Amino acid sequence: MPHLRHALSRPRGLLAALLLTPLLSGCFASGDGDGTGAGGTGDAKSGSRLRVALAFPPAENLSPHGADATLLSRLGVTEGLTALDANGAAAPALARSWRRENDRTWLFTLREATFQDGTDVTPSAVAAALTHATEAKPAPAALSGVTLTARAEGSRGVRITTGTPDPVLPLRLSSPGLAVLAPKAYGDKSHVDPVGTGTGPFELTKVDGAASATLDRFDDYWGGRAQASGVDARFIADGTARANALRTGQVDVAEAVPVAQAAVLDKATRHETATTRTTSLLLNTRSGPFKDPKLRAAARAAVDTSALAQGVYEGHADAGAGIYGPAVTWAEGKRKQPAGRAAEGRPDGASVTLATYDNRPELPEVAQVLKQQLEKAGFRVKLVVREYSRLEGDALAGTFDGVVLARNTLVDTGDPVAVLASDYTCDGGYNLALLCDRDVDRAVAKAEGTVDSGERQDAAMAAEAEILATDAVVPLVHQRVITGVGSAVKGVLLDPYERTLVGTGTRR
């Protein structure tokens, strides 16, 4: 995950062209018992509490503008003006409709909704929330390279103006990082507080550091009363421990079950979802040995991606083909071969530090295999493995020479161009490769400004080719995610975009 960072109601032709793996709303069976969760009790009338094991502890005090935004959306706490539907199109959320007034201005009409603190969702509250997002440091990934202003318009309208034409603004506003919270959430300028200030079906009531969180059903949710009375979330970074918690009945849902644990789960509780997640090796282009493009080329040439897909992932992944994987169905037919790559240099024992995180249990093994492959090519490699929350800051600061990252390329906006802007441009907010290349920036800017569906896809693939030509990123595998779901649990949301997990219909 990370960041755990990309968005889409543009013209229907473009939406159809961006069709991805459908969102799966599962109805499965599990049960374990008495309906009593760690944070409260449930009964037949009120609904049992759900017990959920999540892979990533909060990295930024549950700020909605950074890596933790997806945690809040997966738990049903926060929402934006729009959401992604099953086909990857922008769908109504807090906004019930919208229209484009000109190439830079959109008018969104709000539905009647209530914040979890009891106050109304008003145009002024929404405009203020979006303004806070634009001022966040670092900027939310969905706003990478984008400037916007939001103003209240009448009793139900919010007018949003962008600095340059943005044909995918409704998609962008579906990003978990652009969630709308109640005004009191922003009282402390140093921290946005999501406790009791969201709009979703579940209200965050207590956070126990990086260990757990308690959520209660929000009965005034505009989308209807949730069937579960609450959610007791545990943050369990160790994948084997998550799988064991499901197997022993301690939790009802366990996300990101390790490949190594899949076979020991009962088949009825194991659900595999194709996702838009790609695991990549990102090389530090600003400092250290990989500042030299020839050594980056040598590293790329040393990597055997098929060994990772079939070995580490045991066939639950496809060998890396590019930034976009098979779930982005149109990409393969439009992919361009990178041109102008540097010739491979000789490592001659160059010492590099390779870092990854253990929240996704396959990544340390991936890093270990990469270490062996790079050492065979002549590098000396030191491995660093931490929890993601303890890794991200150093990775963004360029402390490491290489980072192994699993990244959902469409989580931030649903727009395939957004991940290119946030991860690979000079001003990108999640640029772990610290890449700043004139040709890349030019190609991404062209893609961002293209409206026509086919032409936008072509421009995105041309930008991908420019990025791959720098060897700042080496795509390793395209992942499928395994979710453990108790046999009496129904309505878990198995989402290829990894934005949702529990909703109004999730119950046991």
Q: What is the pLDDT of residues 66-99, one digit of tens each?
A: 889 999 999 999 999 999 887 778 899 999 999 9
Q: Is the pLDDT of residue 28 over 50?
A: no
Q: Is the pLDDT of residue 357 over 60?
A: yes
Percent of the chain past pLDDT 90, that is, above it, reads: 71
Q: What's the CA gap between 174 and 418, in Å, rounded?
A: 13
The DSSP letter of residue 112 is P
Percent of the chain past pLDDT 70, that is, above it, reads: 91
Q: What's the CA gap between 432 and 209, in Å, rounded?
A: 26
Between the CA of residue 140 and those of 76, 129, 148, 173, 218, what are the distances in Å?
19, 13, 13, 11, 26
Token pair listed for 178: 């652009």
Token pair listed for 38: 């760690």
Cross-sheet strand order for the sheet of 148-153: 95-102, 105-110, 157-162, 148-153
Token pair listed for 446: 């062209």
- The contacts of residue 442 (CB under 8 Å, 6+ apart) are none
Element (H, E) at 358: none
Q: Among 316, 373, 319, 379, which Cα is nearest to 349's?
A: 379
pLDDT band at 47 (very low <50, low <70, confident <90, very high): confident
CB atoms within 10 A of CB 399: 16
Q: Among 220, 126, 58, 167, which Cα is nearest to 455's?
A: 167
Between the CA of residue 268 and those of 27, 58, 390, what are the distances in Å?
11, 30, 35
pLDDT tens string 459-479: 999 999 999 999 999 999 998
Q: Is the pLDDT of residue 29 over 90?
A: no
Looking at residue 145, its pLDDT comes to: 77
Q: Is the pLDDT of residue 9 over 50?
A: no
Query: For the packed helices 438-448 and 416-424, what is the interaxial angle rounded to 10 degrees?
Result: 150
Q: Among 496, 427, 424, which Cα is nearest to 460's?
A: 424
| pLDDT, average across residues 344-363 | 95
Share the mean pLDDT of the chain: 88
Looking at residue 82, its pLDDT comes to: 97
Q: Among 359, 379, 381, which Cα is nearest to 368's?
A: 381
CB atoms within 10 A of CB 452: 14
pLDDT tens string 94-125: 999 999 999 999 999 999 999 999 999 999 99
Q: Among 409, 355, 392, which Cα is nearest to 59's?
A: 392
| pLDDT, average across residues 228-242 | 95
pLDDT band at 361 (very low <50, low <70, confident <90, very high): confident
Token pair listed for 81: 């003006």
pLDDT tens string 247-277: 999 999 999 999 889 888 998 999 998 888 8
Between the CA of residue 97 and those of 19, 41, 82, 106, 144, what are the distances in Å?
21, 38, 9, 11, 25
Q: What's the CA gap between 194 and 212, in Å, rounded?
A: 15
Domains of the chain are 12-28+59-198 (3.90.76.10), 274-480 (3.10.105.10)
CA 261 to chain centre: 23
Token pair listed for 204: 């965050």
Looking at residue 42, its pLDDT comes to: 38
pLDDT band at 36 (very low <50, low <70, confident <90, very high): very low
CA 184 to chain centre: 26
Task: Please name every residue paired with 277 in a beta bridge, in sequence order, or none if there are none.
Answer: 408
Looking at residue 60, its pLDDT comes to: 84
3-state secondary structure 11-70: CHHHHHHCCCCCCEEEECCCCCCCCCECCECCCCCCCCEEEEEECCCCCCCCCCCCCCHH
Looking at residue 46, its pLDDT comes to: 64
Looking at residue 67, its pLDDT comes to: 83
Between the CA of residue 262 and those of 247, 315, 330, 487, what are the distances in Å?
11, 12, 30, 15
pLDDT tens string 164-197: 888 889 999 999 999 999 999 998 777 899 999 9
**Amino acid identity, position 471:** D
Q: Is the pLDDT of residue 10 over 60?
A: no
Q: Is the pLDDT of residue 224 over 80?
A: yes
Q: Tell me phi and psi for residue 312, to 5 degrees.
A: -65, -45
| pLDDT, average across residues 297-302 | 98
Q: Is the pLDDT of residue 45 over 70?
A: no
Q: Is the pLDDT of residue 26 over 70?
A: no
